[in-house]
Structure 1
Amino acid sequence: MFFKRKEKKPALTSLVIKSPLSGTVVALSEVPDEAFSEGAMGQGFAVEPDAGRLVSPFSGTVVHVMEKSKHAVMLEHDSGVQILMHIGMNTVSLKGEGFKLHIENGQRVEEGQLLIEFDMAVIREAGLPTITPVIVPNGLVSVKGIEVVLEGSDSYIRVDL
């Protein structure tokens, strides 16, 4: 009577990861880099962005952000699932030009929070594609399965835990 029983929250069995960018969602096979297009880096989708804003697709922690080139970030969900978001192809060569970080390594972020702003004109003027892979990297967490659903703006990655 004096102690309230705490209700157990059900364990997370799957995680839905929506697109962190506005734009056209395409299959990874359309990415002009074999490491992504052939799935060597992991499973996911890519986005042809229509605006230079990358936001967090879930609440979690910044595991790694490329602080010098500012073109890629890895986030970790509380479940342990990590995602890599890589803005453009070969954009590391820009050495951070056209990119503005709004995060740092180890920072806690909330779903929808702005992570990186990028100038698509700077990327294109350098002759580089803006296509942005969003992947669950291979081998970083034990998962039962990964499903990629391409349905336009409602595309997502479902990770079964």
Structure 2
Amino acid sequence: MFSRWKAKKEEKPTEAVTRLEIYAPVSGQSVPLTEVPDETFAGGHMGQGIAIEPIEGRLTAPFDGKIAHVVKTNHALILEHASGLQLLMHIGIDTVSLRGEGFISHIATGDEVQAGQTLIEFDLEAIRAAGYRTITPVIVTGNGEDTPEVDCHYGQVTAGTSSILTTAVASQP
């Protein structure tokens, strides 16, 4: 008797995915990126996310991670999650022009940080007095095709306790 068989398609192992809640790094009012008065952020060119109009001058870690980069003027940084997801936090608009005045960094590139840990303190009044906006974009950075989908949560937020973004990340083994 003739036996027929089908070759099984080789299956690739599927990567487990988890939802990551990203908490507010500053307290204030979270708004869509389209409200940021800078086309690079408002147009989503840096990635998806939200912006927060801060009510206090303290930026905290929204999750446990590693500081991937701190801008030398201390107005922005990139925090990396264990999954590889990177989050850009940029205090104010055009604040690079302040050359670090009004910003105190408590971290350096390569530091491991815990959720809620103070990363940067900043002087809201000094930033405003210099003529700059304090609105703070919080962006899940992407590299083209690997940009994850992000759910944004708007409204009044409290640093460390209010979820502002939810995204999918690869589960850790």
> Per the shorter chain, which TM-score range?
0.7 to 0.9
Is the radius of gyration larger for structure 1 or structure 2? 2
Cα distance between partner residues in 1 of 2:47 and 2:145: 12
CA distance in 2, matches of 1:150, 1:112: 20
- State how far apart, in whole Å, the 2-side matches of 1:86 and 1:140 are: 20
99, 102, 108: which one pairs with 2:103? Answer: 99
Aligned to 2:165: 157
Identity %: 50
Can you list the C-alpha shifts for 1:54-107, whole angstroms capped at 9, x where unaligned? Answer: 00000000000012x110010000011100000000000000000000000000
In the alignment of these two chains, the number of paired residues is 151
Displacement of 1:145 after TM fit? 2.2
* Residues 1:137 and 2:165 are matched in the alignment: no
Structure 1 residue matching 2:146: 3-state secondary structure: coil
If the length of structure 2 is used for normalisation, what is the TM-score? 0.82
Indicate the residue corresponding to 2:32 in structure 1: 27
TM normalised by structure 1 equals 0.88
Determine if contact 1:82/1:140 at 8 Å carries over to the other structure: no
Give ranges in structure 1 of 5+ residues lacking alignment.
1-10
Q: Tell me how far apart the structure 2 counterparts of residues 56 and 141 of structure 1 sit (CA, whole Å).
A: 26
In the other structure, the counterpart of 2:89 is 85
CA contact (8 A) 2:47 2:147 kept: no
Query: Partner of 1:7 in structure 2?
Result: none
Equivalent residue, structure 2, for 1:120: 124
Unaligned runs of at least 5 residues, structure 2: 1-15
Give the aligned partner of residue 110 of structure 1: 114
